[in-house]
Amino acid sequence: MADKLVIGNWKLFGSNERIREFAIELKALSAGRLDAQQVVICTPYPYLATLAAVLPEVGVGAQDCSVNTEGAFTGEVSAAMLADVGCRWSIVGHSERRQYHAESDAGVALKAVAVQQQGLCAVVCVGESLEERKRGDHIQRVASQVRASLEGVAAENLVVAYEPIWAIGTGETATPEQADEMHGVIRQVLVELYGESGRALRVLYGGSVKPSTAGGLFACDNIDGALVGGASLEAESFWQIVTAA
């Protein structure tokens, strides 16, 4: 799968039983061809340890992380705790967190720093709304979101995921041309922020990625992989996306 990265985000789905079944199916389909550096699955917190135990062939990721290391912060989970249960990745700033939990760019940057401080890889999400795209503000909006969400964040252990909000869970994938254009803009901002090492950072596309659309997206120079929601819940469709990479 060349050097693309495919991350599945299970969102608020799953159970121990489902993860065990998924592991059996994915192992059968992949027949020893999984690489934990290139295939990652982000489950709800309670299932991270199960996933690490039953499917060590994939990277284990969380969907969010506290900015705090420890203390009286009821309901939060720290990056050290994630590392402790075998997690090596964490999504931060997903649009659903930004929308339902009022997460700001500055808060997302602090979370990414917390993740990196424990040696985990931060997957920082950005993306414009449909209104912003219709107004023609999408390029400027995403560029400024990248700058603000990466304030103080290191280039090491960093992945950026471009997820246009209008394409998430809607079945409407951005065209390869739309995604490639935005990924080019994001890469330019990463070069601005990190110099030449910014050019090598991976920029993933997310938003209704399916087996039928993955190949076209992965053929684009600026698209280094995918952050997959719904299609990552079934081993067969997830594996088809991985093999398209």
Ligand X SMILES: O=C[C@H](O)COP(=O)(O)O
Cα–Cα distance between 226 and 237 in angstroms, integer? Answer: 13
For residue 230, state whether it binds ligand X (rule: CB under 6 A): yes
Structure tokens of 24? 């059996």
Assess 208 for contact with ligand X (CB under 6 A): yes
Nearest CA to 233 out of 38, 16, 19, 55 is that of: 19
168 counts as binding ligand X under rule CB under 6 A: yes
- Indicate the residue among 168 and 189 with the shorter CB distance to ligand X: 168
Give residues 8-47 in contact with ligand X (rule: CB under 6 A). Answer: 9
Beta carbons within 8 Å of 162's beta carbon, 6+ residues apart: 125, 126, 127, 142, 179, 182, 183, 186, 203, 204, 205, 206
Q: Does 229 bind ligand X (CB under 6 A)?
A: yes
Under rule CB under 6 A, residue 59 binds ligand X: no
Q: Which stretch binds ligand X (CB under 6 A): 44-52, 184-192, 193-201, 206-214?
A: 206-214
Residue nearest to ligand X (CB): 229
Q: Does 207 bind ligand X (CB under 6 A)?
A: yes
Of 207, 208, 187, 184, residue with least CA distance to 197: 187
**Catalytic residue numbers, as ranges:** 94, 163
From the list 20-28, 137-145, 148-156, 207-215, the region that binds ligand X by CB under 6 A is 207-215
